[in-house]
Amino acid sequence: MLKNKTQQSGFTLIELMIVIGIVAILAAIAYPTYQNFIIRSHIESARGEMMDNIKMMEEFYTKNRTMCGKTETDGTCSAMPTPVASTAADTYKISIKPDKFNGGGGNSYIIASEPNNEAKFSENTKTNKQVYLLYYSNGSGFVKCTKAGFEAALNAASSPNAGDGCSIM
């Protein structure tokens, strides 16, 4: 006599709950890491744009023997060169300013990279960090700042890193 055996195939509720728990744990770890990666990629994109502007400023100096179109009569800057067109314009706004405190006289400049106010790095306000970047041509290199540190560093009379909230990259 033949017995009618039916085989069950599929997942039990316990197995399904274990898989859902594992996926939730992986998502809890991966999503913040992904957000930090996006923020760092925006910063590096702006830094790359700043490097293009450094190259442009060095070429400008080679041609004009001044960083800012300094006039021979009074030594003041007539005009800073226009920054290179930015591909990072959706997240950062890049500007070039004469460095009036550290070298000044047309031989020193600052490239500032400010987050574009319309750009949000994330919908989450905790992860919507805005990092400001500065480059000093007098040898201090790249500095990253908070907004308060950025404003203080631009107005610092002694050191490019005088603003609280700034650190050398």
Q: Looking at the domain assignment, is residue 152 inside a domain?
A: yes
Q: Looking at the domain assignment, is residue 160 inside a domain?
A: yes
In the chain, which stretches have pLDDT less than 50? 126-127
Q: How confident is the model at residue 104, as a pLDDT?
A: 54
**Is 74 in contact with 114 (CB distance < 8 Å)?**
no
User: How does pLDDT run across 128-151, given as a tens digit for each residue?
Assistant: 567 888 888 877 788 888 888 888
Q: Looking at the domain assignment, is residue 35 inside a domain?
A: yes
Q: What are the tokens at 151?
A: 């404003």
> pTM for the whole thing?
0.70
Q: How confident is the model at residue 122, as a pLDDT?
A: 52
Range of the domain at 54: 17-67+78-168
Q: How confident is the model at residue 117, as a pLDDT?
A: 66
Q: Which amino acid is residue 131, in one-letter code?
A: V
Indicate which CATH number applies to the domain containing 104: 3.30.540.20
- For 49, 81, 84, 111, the CA distances from 99, given in Å and listed in that order, are 19, 14, 19, 9
Q: How confident is the model at residue 101, as a pLDDT?
A: 66
Tell me how many domains the chain contains: 1
Q: Looking at the domain assignment, is residue 12 inside a domain?
A: no
